[in-house]
Amino acid sequence: MLDFRTVREATAGPRWQALFEYHWPAYEQWYLSEGERERPGYLACYNALRQHMPELLDTYRALCELAGGGDLAARFLSLYQPPPYITGCSQAVLASPASTVLARNYDYPPELCEGTILYTHWNARRVIAMTDCLWGVLDGMNDRGLAVSLAFGGRKTVGQGFGAPIILRYLLEFCDSVPEAAEVLARIPTHMAYNITVADAAGRYVTAMIGPDRRASIRRVPVATNHQKKIEWYAHALASETLIRERQLSILVDDEATTEERLIAAFSSPPLFRHDYRRGLGTVYTAVYRPATGRAEFHWPGLTLDLSFDHFPEERVTVRYGARGLPAG
């Protein structure tokens, strides 16, 4: 069972602080899971943010203060060199002169998902995003018409860099278009392999295949699952069915007859919707972003949240992931 909450707070304050206090015990345990010595010190974290995402520093300092100003929490919130973590995920863009849609399934153990859909106005842009690590972004959209989504890249390599959720936060806080986002994705180091799909209201899109040991590959590709140019981790590729899901999405977006409704419906059925919760590869939610109109939808079987920058009621949705892997709201 997982509670999804919509939380609206323009400037970080008591609501974000309450989220931190609720989730911090679990995050602290995860952050120290490999031992504290494996995590970088505060100065290294701060300097990494200052070098690569300096515009984010004021927000970072404000959140650290709300988190109590402790050393460990500040290191965690930098998302610099966090412990490695692995997800599934399928994502696709359907772009036409009339509209652009970015849709995705997030496949992960439900008990490890925050379930917070956060509406903020921390900097110059309003942002709606599904959060991770309390201010990082799994997928989201800003009011300038940029939408983003991440998927694990299917490689075991771990190196020096940031967790992808804070990179996506940076994109939504400071970028307005796909070309701007592509420049950022080409330069910010990441600690693991990720596939990040970006789309904008003008119908542009790219998928960036990033990793700690090679230059980012940024191409006009509308589909991403859990491998990069070739399969490198065969066991994960087999368990996650990454090739099957990629093929299904490619067929859909290449078909001129595919409507937005058809694409979104495909995310509710196998092979895109996955029931393998026992191995942490079941679908936790489906997100749909329409950057031109500022609408965000979150889907579960039999249940939909329809949100926008102009309509964002604060509510809670409880989803039960049953024995057969079929969520019920």
- Domain co-membership, 65 together with 10: yes
Is the pLDDT reported for residue 96 higher than 90?
Answer: no
pLDDT at 78: 98
- Domain co-membership, 214 together with 175: yes
pLDDT at 52: 98
How confident is the model over 206-241, as pLDDT tens digits?
999 999 999 999 999 999 999 999 999 999 999 999
8 Å CB contact between 315 and 304: no
- Domain for residue 43, yes or no? yes
How many other β-carbons are positioned within 10 Å of the β-carbon of residue 148? 32
Is the pLDDT reported for residue 290 higher than 80?
Answer: yes
- Domain co-membership, 290 together with 239: yes
Is the pLDDT reported for residue 103 higher than 90?
Answer: yes
Q: What is the mean pLDDT of the chain?
A: 96
Is the pLDDT reported for residue 97 higher than 90?
Answer: no
Is the pLDDT reported for residue 328 higher than 70?
Answer: no
> What is the band of 323 on the pLDDT scale with cuts at 50, 70, 90?
low
Rounded mean pLDDT, 84-105: 92
pLDDT at 98: 83
8 Å CB contact between 164 and 188: no
The alpha-carbon radius of gyration of the chain (Å, integer) is 18
Is the pLDDT reported for residue 112 higher than 80?
Answer: yes
Distance separating alpha carbons of residues 47 and 30, to the nearest angstrom: 23
User: In CATH, what number is assigned to the domain containing residue 250?
Assistant: 3.60.60.10
How confident is the model over 297-312, as pLDDT tens digits?
999 999 999 999 999 9
Is the pLDDT reported for residue 322 higher than 80?
Answer: no
- Domain co-membership, 70 together with 180: no
Eight-class DSSP state of 113: -
- What is the tally of helices (H) and strands (E) in the chain? 9, 16
| Domain span holding position 12 | 2-78
Distance separating alpha carbons of residues 144 and 147, to the nearest angstrom: 9
> What is the band of 325 on the pLDDT scale with cuts at 50, 70, 90?
very low
- Domain for residue 217, yes or no? yes
Is the pLDDT reported for residue 4 higher than 80?
Answer: yes
pTM: 0.96
Is the pLDDT reported for residue 329 higher than 70?
Answer: no
* Total number of domains constituting the chain: 2
Rounded mean pLDDT, 46-73: 98
Is the pLDDT reported for residue 263 higher than 50?
Answer: yes
- Domain for residue 102, yes or no? yes
- Domain co-membership, 53 together with 146: no
- Domain co-membership, 148 together with 289: yes
